Amino acid sequence: MHTLQGRWLRQYVIFPVMMVILALPAAGSVSAAASEEDHWYDPIWPLGDKVEVEVLKEEYVPFKSIGEIPARPALFLEIGDPFLDTGNLFAGFEVPVLGAVWQPRLWSYFINRTAFQSFDNSTEGRKRDVEVANRLDLYFNLQLTGTEKILLGLRPTDNNQPGRFTRYAWTGDNQDTNNELNIDVETLFFEGDLGSLVPNLDPGGMSPLDFGFTVGRQPINFQEGIIINDTVDALGFIRNNIVVPHTSNFRVSGMWAWDRLDRNDRFRGADPNMYALFMAADADVSTFNVDLIYVDDNATVDADAFYAGASAIQRIRALGGLSTAFRVNHSFALDNEISGNVVGEGTLLSAELSRLVHGSDDIVYLNSFWSIGNYTQAGREAILGGPLASFGILFASPNLSLYGAEINPFTDDVVGFATGYQAFWDHHRRNMIIEIAGRHDTGGGGFDSLGVGFQLQQAIGQYFQLQPEAFYTLNEGENDGAGFRFEFLVVY
């Protein structure tokens, strides 16, 4: 059991790590002439393969043809024109009344994840969990045209809750064999473009009918999942390429969700209605996003809430091509605040910094956050991490059974960071992440944590991947946390 004082965490860990992380790859700003010189960090960085800067060739380079291009990995099921294949396309047929030409093809693919994992979440009195668990995501995509499709998604080996995965546990508080086989529909939606779906409405192609739309059960993720990361039954419309001065693209989308909104309580109720407006603009200096969500909760306990998020994403050339994303998100509890991170009132400020390590494709990053009050999301699936899930591997849940985030990903008066290094080898078929992350409780109701994490991903052939990972956390006033996972993925 360890005691971590906030001053110690800030003075001896966060600030030095921030300075080192940002200073090491500073060579990214050196000129081409200086890139041939030796540097003190050359024996250390990059950890991954060195990559030469591609330049335009002066000699003629012919296009590659069939037989010279590597074979295309086929999908699990392909009926009709194969996915990303070569050759002539099926001519299709014209749909009466609508006037659209459909070229139906059915593509099916799946991602199967099997993991052996052992972990101790530092809870006093709880045994270490050791289990084997499985998750299968199976999709059927009926593509009608280039813009119209129907997507069906199934998760036949789990029921989308931490304790409801097909699994076998040797130790822990849940020693048992779970069989969660099912045929429940997890995703089912139709999406398209009005002008493409019904071209007879505008044979000349001069009317502004290019509205994208979607209806059905679908995943919704905005502000990198900070404001919402859920699967809901919804109707949405989007308009791209709106002409606005000083922008290359302005996008507006509206959405109404009437079912399956999970308000961070692991309960998908039909009572809440969600109304949302999402806006994005590509300007010359940044990409700006403004997202607004209102949740009308008609449950017994009134819990209406309003959520607002804004972000600016850009690359700062003056700092050697530093990629940055600055965000501010706020949750307003219009009626009652509900404990357990369900509905709260607070502001989450965050900054994400990353850059390439000179001479490679390696990435070094530093993400920081500050929560003032109890910020909560509009919606979050039960197996996902909280608002901090996108900040680093130590805040992210693997979304597979009881193995959750290594460091608490929720935000109730906390400040913290995640900094790490991602290295690439073998033409990106292997990559590794090493990360240090910590959070300091500023409200007095929680505890401080400092952890280190490791993750390796290795592709095998065209369809398989191995992924080992491990972590260790020091927790103030609580037991240390430790664990490891070994995951085998089949992507077909």
Domain edges within the chain: 1-26+70-141+149-182+382-492
For residue 35, the model assigns a pLDDT of: 45
Long-range contacts at 65-72 (CB < 8 A, ≥ 24 apart): none
Q: For position 28, what pLDDT does the model report?
A: 44
* Radius of gyration of the chain measured on its C-alpha atoms: 25
Report whether the peptide linkage leading into residue 16 is cis, meaning its omega lies within 30 degrees of zero: no
Rounded to whole angstroms, how far apart are CA atoms 210 and 144?
A: 17
Contact by Cβ (8 Å): 141, 107? yes
Is the distance from CB of 280 to CB of 289 less than 8 angstroms?
A: yes
pTM of structure: 0.89
Helix H or strand E segment including 280: strand 273-283
Please tell me the predicted confidence (pLDDT) of residue 202: 82
**CA 461 to CA 464: how far, in whole Å?**
6
Question: What is the reported pLDDT for 41?
Answer: 57
* Confidence at residue 111, expressed as pLDDT on a 0 to 100 scale: 98
Beta strands 261-262; 247-259: pairing state: unpaired
Question: CA dist 418 to 122, 328, 399, 478, Å?
Answer: 20, 18, 19, 21
Distance from first CA to last CA of the chain, Å, rounded?
45
Backbone dihedral region of 226: left (phi > 0), alpha (psi from -120 to 50 degrees) or beta?
Answer: alpha
Query: Residue 238 burial (CB < 10 Å; 0-12/13-18/19+)?
Result: middle
Closest CA to 396 of 469, 346, 311: 469
In the DSSP assignment, the letter for residue 16 is: H
Residue matched to tokens 């000129």: 31
Measured on CA atoms in the order 210, 215, 219, 223, is the torsion positive or negative? positive
CB distance 167 to 131 below 8 Å: yes
Coil vs helix vs strand at 51:
coil
Query: What CA–CA distance (Å, rounded) separates 127 from 149?
Result: 47
Amino acid identity at 413: D
pLDDT tens digits in sequence order for the chain, 492 residues long: 455 444 445 444 544 554 445 454 444 444 333 444 555 556 677 999 999 888 888 899 888 887 788 888 899 999 999 998 888 889 999 999 889 999 999 999 999 999 999 988 655 556 788 999 999 999 999 999 999 999 999 999 999 998 899 999 987 666 778 899 999 999 999 999 998 999 988 887 777 788 999 999 999 999 999 999 999 999 999 999 898 999 999 999 999 999 999 988 777 666 789 999 999 999 999 999 999 999 998 765 678 999 999 999 999 988 888 999 999 999 999 988 888 888 999 999 999 999 999 889 999 999 999 999 999 999 999 899 899 999 999 999 999 998 999 999 999 999 999 999 999 999 999 999 999 999 999 988 788 999 999 999 999 999 999 999 999 999 988 889 999 999 999 999
For residues 358 and 35, is the Cβ–Cβ distance under 8 A?
yes
Cα-Cα-Cα-Cα dihedral sign, residues 43, 45, 46, 48: positive
Rounded to the nearest 10°, the torsion over CA 30, 35, 40, 45 is 90
Residue type (1 letter), 155: R
Confidence (pLDDT) at 37: 52
Tell me how crowded residue 145 is: count the other CB atoms within 10 A of its CB.
Answer: 17
